[in-house]
Chain A
Amino acid sequence: KQEVTQIPAALSVPEGENLVLNCSFTDSAIYNLQWFRQDPGKGLTSLLLIQSSQREQTSGRLNASLDKSSGRSTLYIAASQPGDSATYLCAADNNNDMRFGAGTRLTVKP
């Protein structure tokens, strides 16, 4: 059974800092790994999807990497802004069985 863990559970950084969010998973036989953003009281917004054959994906200030052999993915956020404050969730997909981590709550202070 796939288990997904995100560390740290919460992170507070000053504006402008570069930061890394971590995601680990126990079953490397994944189809893909997704990173989502969730604002308080809202649904999820997909940020990046990395397919199993890929090593990384980039969108603007976001870069996500995937290392299936070690069961790890990282989300790198460059030059953080207060608007980046949200909870970030990763999810590993094993053939229509999507398992989510509990998320990292990010606060970017002005």
Chain B
Amino acid sequence: GNSVTQMEGPVTLSEEAFLTINCTYTATGYPSLFWYVQYPGEGLQLLLKATKADDKGSNKGFEATYRKETTSFHLEKGSVQVSDSAVYFCALIDNSGGYQKVTFGTGTKLQVIP
């Protein structure tokens, strides 16, 4: 079956530090990959996505590249802000199923301190 593994949290960084949250996946087909974010008190929001190998998703200064050879989709940001504090979920959708069932990782809580 499909699975997503992401690094354990929580991650605590100082403002303007570099962020990496590792994510690897296992899938039977050719999935689309996603990062979702949940800010405190809010719902899940799509942060970025990549639909095929070597695609780079980017949004709000965050980036992730779909690496088929290493089955990875690591999230990076060059300079984090306090407002980036949230829980980040790596996820995939297996496109072979005919519908959009999402498989999530465990989530990584990021806390950015001033």
The answer to whether A binds B is no
Residues of A that sit less than 8 Å from B by CB: none
